[in-house]
C-alpha cells in the first residue's frame, strides 16, 4: 500500500484535532502544558525517517507563515475580549495600562539596547525587540481568564492583567515593528532620525486611533444587533450560533486594515464592546466557546510545525547574540521592568511578581517577524533572526508552561481561591473557582 504525503497530512490533522480537544484536561494540574506537548510531538514526528514530510522554511514561505499566524492571532484576540468580565475603565484596568504604557515600551528599549550593545545594527536590534514585545497567555492557559461569567469582578488580578495585556499589545507592538522597518530603510546599519515625525503622527497616533475607533463602533453596532435588534432574525443572540464571533472577527479586522488602522487592536476592542453591550447574556459563552475551539486547533497546528522546524535544524542558525537576548528578555528584562511598572494597590506584591514574570512570548512574534521580513530588508541573515525568535518562544513555552500550574496554584491557595463551590480544586482555566474582587 502506498502512503502519500497527503494521506499522512490527513492523519496528522485528525490526530492533532483530537489532541487539541483532549490535552487541556489531561495536562491540567500538572507542570506541563498542551503547547509543550504539541512542540514535542512536532519535533518527534519530523524526526521520523518517512520521507513524506515537507521541508519547513519560514523564510521561503513567509507569506504562508504570516497569514496562518495572523488568523490565529485575530481568533485569539476575539476569544480573549469576550472572556474578560471586568468592565472597561481607567481605574479598573489600571494594571493593564501600566503594563502597556510603561512596561512594554521600556522592555522594547531595553531589549533593543542589549541587541545593539552585542553588535546588531540599530534597526535589527529594534526589530527583534519589537517582534518579541507581544505577550501570549494562550500558550499557558493557567494564567489567562476562563469563560465569560455573570460576575463582573471574578477574575484575579494576575489572570486579568495578563489576558488584557496580551489582548492589546498584539496591536500596540505594530508601531515598533514599523519603526524598525522605517529605520532600516533610512539606514540599514546605522542611525537616522528623518523617519520619526511621520512615524509618530501616522503609525502611532493615527493608526491606533483608527483601530480603536473602528473596533469600538463596530462592536457597539454588533452588540445592538445581537441583543436589541427588533427583528428576531437579526437578533443573533437568540439563535446561539457561535460562528458569528468568527464573522465579527474577520469583518472587524478586514475593515480596519482596509482603512489603514491596526486590525489586531480593532478586533479586541470589538470583542470588549460586544461584551459591554449585554454583559450577563449567555450568548457570550457560546461565542467564546466556539472561538476557543478554533484557537486551540490553530495553535496546535502552528506549534506542531514549530517543533518540526526545530527538528529539521531551524535553530542551527542561532547565534550567541540571539540566545543572550532571548534569555535576558525572559529572565531579567521583562520580570524587572514588568514588576517596577506596576504601582502598589493594583494587586498584592506576589501578584505583581507573577504578572511580571509570565510575559509569555508566542505566536504574535512569528507573525511580526514574517511581516517585517516580507516588507523590508535588514542587515542580518533572515534565518538567524528566525532562529533567535523561535528559540525565545521555545524557551518561553517550556519555562512558563512548566511553572504556570504550580505557581498559579500556590497563588490561588494563598489568596483563598483553592476550592470551588463543591470543595474541588478547579481542573482547568475554563472552570475557574470564585475569585475575590481585586484591590484597587
pLDDT tens for each residue of 152-197: 666 778 888 888 898 899 889 999 999 999 999 988 778 888 899 9
- Mean pLDDT in residue range 325-348: 88
In this structure, the dihedral spanned by the alpha carbons of residues 375, 378, 383 and 389, taken in order and rounded to 10 degrees, is -80
pLDDT band at 137 (very low <50, low <70, confident <90, very high): low
- Mean pLDDT in residue range 96-116: 95
- Rounded CA-CA distance 37/28 in Å is 13
Which stretch of 91-100, 101-110, 159-168, 346-355 has the lowest confidence by average pLDDT? 346-355
Cβ-based neighbours of 240, under 8 Å, separated by 6 or more: 283, 286
pTM of the predicted model as reported, rounded to 2 decimal places: 0.87
Is the pLDDT at 362 greater than 60, yes or no? Answer: yes
- Rounded CA-CA distance 245/168 in Å is 18
Helices 283-311 & 34-45 angle (0-180, nearest 10): 40
Sign of CA dihedral 113, 117, 118, 124: positive
What's residue 426's pLDDT? Answer: 41
- Rounded CA-CA distance 415/387 in Å is 40
Sign of CA dihedral 152, 158, 159, 164: positive
What's residue 437's pLDDT? Answer: 37
Residues 143 and 137 sit within 8 Å (Cβ to Cβ): yes
What's residue 429's pLDDT? Answer: 39
Is the pLDDT at 433 greater than 50, yes or no? Answer: no
- Rounded CA-CA distance 347/349 in Å is 6
pLDDT band at 336 (very low <50, low <70, confident <90, very high): very high
Sign of CA dihedral 410, 414, 417, 423: positive
pLDDT tens digits, residue range 384-430?
999 999 999 999 999 988 888 888 878 878 766 553 333 333 433 33
* Through-space distance between the first and last CA atoms of the chain, rounded to whole angstroms: 66
284-290: list long-range contacts, CB under 8 Å, 24+ apart: 284/82, 284/148, 285/147, 285/148, 286/240, 286/241, 286/242, 287/82, 287/242, 287/244, 287/245, 288/79, 288/82, 288/83, 288/147, 288/148, 288/245, 289/147, 289/242, 290/242, 290/243, 290/245, 290/246
- Rounded CA-CA distance 369/58 in Å is 10
Cβ-based neighbours of 392, under 8 Å, separated by 6 or more: 132, 325, 326, 329, 330, 361, 365
- Mean pLDDT in residue range 202-228: 93
- Rounded CA-CA distance 352/355 in Å is 5
**Maximum alpha-carbon separation in the chain:** 67
Residue with grid cell 502506498, as numbered in its chain: 2
Kindly give the residue spans of alpha helices, DSSP state H, lying in 84-173. 94-98, 104-117, 122-131, 157-172
Amino acid at each position: 500500500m502506498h502512503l502519500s504525503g497527503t494521506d499522512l497530512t490527513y492523519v496528522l490533522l485528525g490526530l492533532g484535532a483530537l489532541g487539541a480537544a483532549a490535552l487541556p484536561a489531561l495536562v491540567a494540574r500538572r507542570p506541563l502544558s498542551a503547547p509543550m506537548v504539541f512542540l514535542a510531538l512536532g519535533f518527534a514526528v519530523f524526526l521520523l525517517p518517512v520521507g513524506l514530510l515537507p521541508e519547513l522554511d519560514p523564510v521561503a514561505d513567509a507569506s504562508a507563515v504570516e497569514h496562518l499566524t495572523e488568523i490565529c492571532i485575530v481568533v485569539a484576540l476575539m476569544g480573549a475580549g469576550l472572556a474578560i468580565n471586568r468592565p472597561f475603565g481607567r481605574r479598573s484596568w489600571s494594571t493593564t495600562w501600566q503594563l502597556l504604557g510603561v512596561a512594554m515600551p521600556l522592555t522594547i528599549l531595553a531589549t533593543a539596547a542589549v541587541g545593539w550593545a552585542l553588535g546588531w545594527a540599530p534597526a535589527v536590534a529594534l526589530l527583534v525587540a519589537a517582534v518579541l514585545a507581544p505577550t501570549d497567555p494562550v500558550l499557558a492557559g493557567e494564567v489567562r481568564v476562563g469563560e465569560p461569567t455573570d460576575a463582573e469582578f471574578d477574575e484575579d488580578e494576575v489572570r486579568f492583567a495578563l489576558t488584557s495585556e496580551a489582548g492589546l499589545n498584539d496591536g500596540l507592538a505594530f508601531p515598533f515593528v514599523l519603526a524598525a522597518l522605517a529605520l532600516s530603510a533610512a539606514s540599514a546599519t546605522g542611525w537616522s532620525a528623518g523617519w520619526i515625525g511621520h512615524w509618530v503622527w501616522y503609525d502611532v497616533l493615527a493608526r491606533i486611533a483608527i483601530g480603536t475607533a473602528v473596533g469600538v463602533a463596530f462592536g457597539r453596532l454588533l452588540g445592538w444587533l445581537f441583543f436589541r435588534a427588533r427583528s428576531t432574525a437579526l437578533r443573533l443572540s437568540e439563535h446561539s450560533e457561535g460562528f458569528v464571533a468568527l464573522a465579527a472577527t474577520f469583518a472587524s479586522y478586514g475593515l480596519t486594515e482596509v482603512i489603514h488602522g491596526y486590525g489586531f487592536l480593532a478586533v479586541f476592542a470589538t470583542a470588549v464592546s460586544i461584551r459591554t453591550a449585554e454583559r450577563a447574556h449567555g450568548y457570550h459563552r457560546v461565542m467564546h466557546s466556539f472561538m476557543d475551539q478554533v484557537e486551540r486547533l490553530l495553535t496546535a497546528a502552528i506549534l506542531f510545525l514549530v517543533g518540526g522546524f526545530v527538528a529539521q535544524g531551524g535553530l542551527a542558525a542561532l547565534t550567541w547574540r540571539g540566545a543572550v537576548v532571548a534569555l535576558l528578555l525572559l529572565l531579567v528584562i521583562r520580570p524587572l521592568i514588568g514588576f517596577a511598572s506596576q504601582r502598589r494597590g493594583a494587586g498584592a506584591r506576589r501578584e505583581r511578581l507573577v504578572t511580571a514574570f509570565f510575559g509569555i512570548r508566542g505566536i504574535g512574534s512569528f507573525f511580526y517577524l514574517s511581516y517585517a521580513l516580507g516588507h523590508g530588508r535588514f542587515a542580518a541573515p533572515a534565518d538567524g533572526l528566525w532562529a533567535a525568535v523561535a528559540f525565545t518562544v521555545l524557551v518561553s513555552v517550556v519555562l512558563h508552561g512548566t511553572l504556570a500550574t504550580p505557581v498559579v496554584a500556590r497563588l490561588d491557595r494563598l489568596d483563598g481561591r483553592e476550592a470551588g463551590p463543591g470543595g474541588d480544586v478547579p481542573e482547568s482555566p475554563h472552570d475557574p473557582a470564585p475569585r475575590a474582587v481585586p484591590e484597587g
